Every structure is written in structure tokens, then in C-alpha cells.
Amino acid sequence: MNGPALAERVTPASLFRQSIDWKELAVRGGLLLCASISVLTTIGIVVVLATESFGFFRHVPVHDFLLGTRWAPLLEPRSFGVLPLVSGTMIVVVGSAVVAVPTGLATAIYLSEYASPRFRSIVKPVLEILAGIPTVVYGYFALTTITPALRAIFPATEVFNAASAAIVVGVMILPMVASLCEDALSSVPRAQREAGFALGATRGEVATQIVVPAAASGVVASFVLALSRAIGETMAVTLAAGATPRFSLNLLESIQTMTAYIVQVSLGDTPAHTVEYQTIFAVGALLFLITLGLNVLAHRFLRGIHRIGE
């Protein structure tokens, strides 16, 4: 008795619903379009870098670019060996890792294994502030504070030098290392620590021999992500390290990173479609491939964690 009556009442409603299904569909389509923008961004990056680099490599052989040790695209005689930029980038990255990896990991250990909730509630915002300071501010800090300090210790230091850039980039990526490591350490089950304490281990032994190894893949992933960030860091290294492409490992000399080169060309007015203009796309493509590789690597490490978690 109720059944047919309900059905009758439902029928117009479902007809109504049929008619607004188009609206639903439009909304769904619009949202899908929004989500596709990020895919278009990726495609745009790849296409732009690929096509302009292709133009560049028609003038400069790939192996001259990748293996050449002299980078002088703006001066005669021109030379397009990218290794000086790569070595400059690597000096800064390795130097920043020397600063950020031990401090970041130790900070994470302190926060996750020792600190009281009150202390954590002070330190974590400070780290967030450090992470939120714009990179140009770090560049200013490097040039006006770190470099003079270095020159006081090592008088041979040039005004623009790799060491200052490395230190400041290390400070910049420190919060990232610390917070990602802390996430990894905190996700280690409490029972594992307590098992260690039950066997008589000290807090330090539990931290270094149980917690850090258990969180190893997350810790390594945080290092890799931070390094990738350091490679792409631009303004601080441009200000601190200068613009002298040099295939050397001297920390006290001015160098040039890949990113700093792109800035240098952008600040000048190089006409489009010249080889000089195309260099920034070739260097950018190299930068993109390196950071992409590192990010994929980091995510592979992070997937490792999830497998253990299952």
C-alpha cells in the first residue's frame, strides 16, 4: 500500500534529478578541468624546456655541453661546457648538507626523543619561521653577516664565495630536514623504544640504535628532498656566491650555480632566439632533470616506509 504511493512520489523527483544531472556533470567537468591545470603545467614545463633546449643543441653538441669544463656563453670566445655550473651547484649542495644534515637530524632527535611538549611548542614555531623567511633575506644575511665573519677567519675569502652560500643554504634547508626527520622519528612505534629501555639501553642508545634505524627510509628521504631544494635554491646563492663560473672546488672563491646563471641572463637583456637566450633553457632542463630525479628517489624511499607500515 505504501509502496506504490512512495514510488509515485519518487517518480517526479527522479525526473527532476534527471534534469539537473547536467548541472552535476558540468560541475564535475569544471572541477576536472581545474585539476588538469597541474598536468598542463607539467606538460608546459617539459615542452618548453625540451623545445628550447633542442634549439640550443642544434648549435652546441650535447657532449660539449655536458662534458665541457669552460662556461662562457656571453663572452668571446664562447664556450658552452656546463660542468663549472654543475660543480658550483654541487659545492653549495654538499656544503649545505654538511650544515643541515647533522643539525637537522639532531634537532629532530631532540624534539622527538627528549623535548617536553612545552619546549617543542616553542621550537617548532621557530623552525616554521626559519622556513618561512624569503630566500632573498637569507641572501642579504649571507652577504652582510656570514661573509664578513668568514673573511675575518680566512682573510683569503673573496667577497662572493661558495662557503657563505653553502652555509646560508644549509640554514635554509635545516627546518625542512628537521621537520621531515621528526615526522619519521615520531612514527616509530612507542613499543620499540620501550623494548630498548627494558633491555637497559640509555635514551641516547635507544635514539641512535633503535629509533633512527627504524625510521631510516624517512630520514634519508628528508635528506634527499632537502638536497633537491638546495639545488634549486636561487636568490641566496646568487647574492652570496657571485657569478664566476669556475670548475674548481675552492670554497673561498666566487662560483656560479646553475640557478644563478639563469638569473644573470634574465637580468641582462638577451634577445630571444639567440643561443645565449637558449642556454637558460638548456641549463633549466638539466636542473629540472636533476631535481626530478632526486624527488622520485625520495618518494621511493617514502613508499618503503608505507610498505613496512603495512
Contact set for another protein, span 149-208 (CB under 8 A): 171, 174-175, 178, 202-205, 207-208
User: Could you give the CA distance from residue 306 to residue 30 in angstroms, rounded to a whole number?
Assistant: 33
Whichever of 29 and 69 has its CB closer to another protein, that residue is: 29
Contact 176, 103 (CB under 8 A): no
| CB of 22 or CB of 63, closer to another protein | 22
Rounded to a whole number of angstroms, the minimum distance from the CB of residue 289 to another protein is 11
7 binds another protein (CB under 8 A): no
**CB closer to another protein, 249 vs 289:** 289
Closest to another protein by CB, 87 or 279: 279
- Write the CB contacts of 144 (distance below 8 Å, at least 6 apart in sequence): none
Least separation in angstroms between residue 54's CB and another protein is 13
Residues from 284 through 303 that contact another protein (CB under 8 A): 284, 287-288, 291-292, 294-296, 298-299
**For another protein, which stretch binds (CB under 8 A), given 47-55, 65-73, 77-85, 246-254?**
47-55
Q: Scanning residues 223 to 262, which ones bind another protein (CB under 8 A)?
A: 225, 228-229, 231-235, 239, 259, 262
Whole-angstrom distance, CA of residue 281 vs CA of residue 218: 33
In the range 20-39, which residues lie near another protein by CB under 8 A?
20, 23-24, 27-28, 30-35, 37-39
By CB under 8 A, how many residues form the interface with another protein? 87
Q: In the complex, what is the shortest distance from the CB of residue 103 to another protein, in angstroms, rounded to a whole number?
A: 5
Handedness of CA 95, 108, 224, 230 (dihedral sign): negative
**Among residues 127, 184, 188, 214, the one that binds another protein under rule CB under 8 A:** 127
Burial group, residue 229, by CB count within 10 angstroms (0-12, 13-18, 19+): buried
Q: Which three cell numbers stand for residue 211?
A: 629509533
**Residue 145 lies near another protein (rule: CB under 8 A):** yes
Stretch that binds another protein, among 46-54, 55-63, 65-73, 211-219 (CB under 8 A): 46-54
Whole-number Å distance between alpha carbons of 203 and 303: 28
Among 235, 122, 227, which residue's Cα sits nearest to residue 177? Answer: 227
Cβ proximity to another protein: between 13 and 198 the closer is 13
Distance, CA of 110 to CA of 112 (rounded, Å): 6
Helix (H) or strand (E) holding 71: strand 71-72
- What does the alpha-carbon distance between residue 66 and residue 82 come to, in Å, rounded to a whole number? 6
Site string for another protein, 87-126 (x = CB under 8 A): ---------------xx--xx-xxx-xxx-------x--x
Count of C-beta atoms within a 10 Å radius of residue 106: 13
Helices (H), 133-161: 135-141, 147-153
Q: Which is nearer to another protein, 102 or 248 (CB)?
A: 102
CA 34 to chain centroid: 25
Q: How far is the CB of 77 from another protein (least distance, A)?
A: 27
Q: How far is the CB of 278 from another protein (least distance, A)?
A: 11
